Amino acid sequence: VGRFKIIESTLREGEQFANAYFDTETKIKIAKALDDFGVDYIELTSPAASEQSRRDCEAICKLGLKAKILTHVRCDMRDAKIAVETGVDGLDVVIGTSSFLREHSHGKDMAYIEKTAIEVIEYIKSKGLEVRFSSEDSFRSDLVDLLSLYRAVDKVGVHRVGIADTVGCASPRQVYDLVRTLRGVVSCDIETHFHDDTGCSIANAYCALEAGATHIDTSVLGIGERNGITPLGGLMARMVVTSPEYVKGKYKLHKLKELEDLVAEAVEINTPFNNPITGFCAFTHKAGIHAKAILNNPSTYEILNPADFGLTRYVHFASRLTGWNAVKTRVGQLGLEMTDDQVKEVTAKIKALADVRPIAIDDADSIIRSFHLNLHEGPI
């Protein structure tokens, strides 16, 4: 589980997000930010998709980034031929294997898929590039068909095989079982790709790693087709708890917020309130009991340390749930001095007002300030 690689697909899967339109300059900015963050691979839209996509792919290859550059193509010689000329380090090749996609999308049978896959893989390898072969809609594909296809591509030396939960139907246990089974069948690396339709994309990525997967596909904020895929930040949150040294040593976690802000702005969305790590209240503690414990020792109610991400925690002190420990801290932040009994008294005033209406930080601050003033000057 500990060591894993990220295939960052904001510039491929993310371009399939409803709001996404990335001009060349934006793509370059995002690619540089991803590289700086430390992702292992950056996956780009197929150069066969459009002429501009092809040019952008070439431009990003020329940036000389540390991350390896991949492009994502259909399992088709025509696409592969265009892609190998762009300067990428490797190709992610994909074809639908479920009966849904075989019958309603490309119309090919498994024998044809296997023959074409081998031809395309051998061609890409002959050009000295890295190649991954993946089945779209893996979880609704016939298991026996799938495993014999993967065995065949493993034999011809594919670098990675991919499992894709294209429709977001898989549960963590199903993921574990399929990846575990596949682990026993192929010797190459295993990449996984999870859509979030049923809210399992992070859990599924984690279970895939537990079962022996080596590479996880992500996008910034999870943007992608429909409601998207495993978000980079959410995966970081999960994995920094599991493998703190590896994750902190490898990725510049303090750059996460900047990276997310860049992408959020590019696709004109706000970071969701409940986003792991960067949601506005991800490190806000409110109830009196929580606040007291957090002020004593943050580990009581925090599994992530905001400082690891260059962020700070916030102890709420302006609600009817507020306790006097939070107010005491605020009094200190305001540079005022009060005895504990006085803090308790002013806390009661804050709570009394907060019982009548929602109050802002400024309201609570001015209650504290005028209470403090009265202590010294006496009531007017």
Catalytic residues: 290
Rounded to the nearest 5 degrees, what angle is found at the Cα of 35, between the Cα atoms of 179 and 196?
Answer: 40
Span of 10-18, 62-70, 109-117, 349-357 interacting with Cu ion by CB under 5 A: 10-18
CA 288 to chain centre: 32
Binding status of residue 70 toward ligand HCA by CB under 6 A: no
Site for ligand HCA in 74-103 (CB under 6 A): 92, 94
Pairwise CA distance, residues 297 & 187, whole Å: 46
How many residues interact with ligand HCA (rule CB under 6 A)? 13
Binding status of residue 231 toward ligand HCA by CB under 6 A: no
Residue 10: which residues within 8 A CB-CB, separation 6 or more?
30, 34, 218, 219, 220, 223, 232, 263
CB 322 within 8 A of CB 358: no
- DSSP string across 183-232: HTT--SEEEEEEB-TTS-HHHHHHHHHHTT--EEEEBGGG-SSTT-B-BH
Smaller CB distance to Cu ion: residue 13 or 79? 13
Binding status of residue 189 toward ligand HCA by CB under 6 A: no
380 token code pair: 């007017």
Smaller CB distance to Cu ion: residue 13 or 92? 13
Binding status of residue 164 toward ligand HCA by CB under 6 A: yes
Binding status of residue 53 toward ligand HCA by CB under 6 A: no
**Cα distances (angstroms) measured from residue 131 to each of 136, 154, 190, 324, 380:** 16, 11, 12, 60, 79
Site for ligand HCA in 5-34 (CB under 6 A): 13, 16
Pairwise CA distance, residues 84 & 82, whole Å: 6
Smaller CB distance to Cu ion: residue 267 or 318? 267
Span of 8-16, 235-243, 271-279, 299-307 interacting with Cu ion by CB under 5 A: 8-16
Shortest distance (Å) from residue 272 CB to Cu ion: 20
Pairwise CA distance, residues 214 & 338, whole Å: 56
Pairwise CA distance, residues 132 & 70, whole Å: 10
Binding status of residue 363 toward ligand HCA by CB under 6 A: no
Site for Cu ion in 13-32 (CB under 5 A): 13
Q: Which does 162 bind (CB under 5 to 8 A by kind): ligand HCA, Cu ion, none?
A: ligand HCA
253 token code pair: 């976690």
Smaller CB distance to ligand HCA: residue 166 or 325? 166
Pairwise CA distance, residues 46 & 257, whole Å: 28
Q: Which does 94 bind (CB under 5 to 8 A by kind): Cu ion, ligand HCA, none?
A: ligand HCA
Shortest distance (Å) from residue 43 CB to ligand HCA: 8
Shortest distance (Å) from residue 170 CB to ligand HCA: 12
Binding site for ligand HCA (CB under 6 A): 13, 16, 72, 92, 94, 134, 136, 162, 164, 166, 193, 195, 225
Binding site for Cu ion (CB under 5 A): 13
